[in-house]
Amino acid sequence: MNYTYDLIVIGGGASGMMTAGTAAERGLRVLVLEKNKKLGAKLSISGGGRCNITNNEDNIHTFLSQYKDSQKFLYSSFSKFNKETTKAFFKKLGLPVVVQERNRCFPKTENALDVVRVLEDWLRLNKVSIQTSTAVEKIEYTNNVISGVIAKGKKYTAKSYVIATGGLSHPETGSTGDGFSWMKEIGHTVVAPNPNIVPLKVKEKWIKKLSGTTLVDVKLYFYLNEKRMFDRRGNILCTHFGMSGPLVLNSAYEVLQLLEKGKVTCLIDMFPSLDIGSLEKKLVELFEKHKNKNLKNILKEIIPAALAPVLCEELSLSDDLKVHSVTKEQRKSIVCFLKQSPLTISGSLGYDKAVVSDGGIPLREVDAQDFRSKIFSNLFFTGDMLHITRPSGGYSLQLCWTTGFVVGKSI
């Protein structure tokens, strides 16, 4: 067979571009087939448009522990390409990376479109052939070898093939699970995906009234059938449906697993650094300082402004209640609300709002050294095609960079 290319990469997202560029730098003839009009559709909106490129966690064991059961499988690959390699790589492309809160790393310009731009420039510099608006329709194979792909009625052939089509998060960007369907058809197992890093819906109306408000440094205690299961601390964003923000997104995977077993509730502690007695003392001191003012107004000194009227409404405290008229019982109810506000978790927003979804090819069917299929000798997987759970905060994109680099070097 006369091969037109050394490598065909199906999918022009983060891991696909990394694979293609790395292989092309070695002199391989590479073709990228992308069904969207442009490369990097999902990458261009990642991190709220700022692109959380990686995480700056220094301890490799701590870093890899974020990938749960997959950490041992990934150790070899991360020794070849990790967060330091990623930062150096983008600096070389003319896009320095800066470290911000919670060890998250962003391009200095804080613009995800710049990440897509420098990657695309890198591909063109290394003479990668790019065909956009080209959706693959079928993958052909003979025995244990991929023999070609069909797109727009035309057959494309190469010595090796990479599936970099992503999972099911943000389907509007083209991540519609095409790769999963193809792999099922040709004999691979595909673990059913679930929304993984995703906002949570709650039943209580009071938190929905705070839509758009961020509660900073709170602690959430999650319960299954009234038994405490785990807790997390960080920031949450109140929404019209419930909760989002880093703390919630990174708890969603465990919460959704609990929901399959029963009723899930959580308590919000808005002052995790203070015990109940210390918070009440803080409130007493505040009240002493502002005896003749309206309670609703002076509460804004210690809680977000939007929360004060909601708290008063929930506790049936009148709008014109003066601080000097607040009873001991009312003061204790305020403290209780701030330390132990209960919420009932009713579900998640699903794939459309998921930052990333798990599912994909189980690692038992993939070689840990080069992400090669154990069924097809010339087939490789990258990024979201692999069934690997991870949190937000740069870990998902680092998986794309690492798997893309290793595959690009291995082929």
Do residues 242 and 366 share a domain?
Answer: no
pLDDT at 48: 81
Do residues 55 and 133 share a domain?
Answer: yes
Do residues 180 and 74 share a domain?
Answer: yes
pLDDT at 2: 60
Do residues 43 and 125 share a domain?
Answer: yes
**Overall number of domains in the chain:** 2
Domain that holds residue 204: 199-349
pLDDT at 168: 58
Q: Which residues of the chain fall short of a pLDDT of 50?
A: 173-174
Do residues 188 and 209 share a domain?
Answer: no
pLDDT at 193: 75
Do residues 182 and 204 share a domain?
Answer: no
Q: What is the DSSP string of 202-271?
A: ES-HHHHTTTT-EEEEEEEEEEETTEEEEEEEEEEEE-SSEEESHHHHTTHHHHHHHHTTS-EEEEEES-
Domain final residue, candidates 302, 324, 349: 349
Instruction: Say if strands 136-142 and 145-151 run parallel, antiparallel, or are unpaired.
Output: antiparallel
Do residues 283 and 148 share a domain?
Answer: no
pLDDT at 392: 78
Do residues 28 and 58 share a domain?
Answer: yes
Domain final residue, candidates 299, 331, 349: 349
Do residues 342 and 391 share a domain?
Answer: no
pLDDT at 358: 75
Do residues 97 and 144 share a domain?
Answer: yes
Inter-residue contact 177 to 35 (CB < 8 Å): no
> Helix, strand, coil proportions of the chain in percent (round to 5)?
40, 25, 35
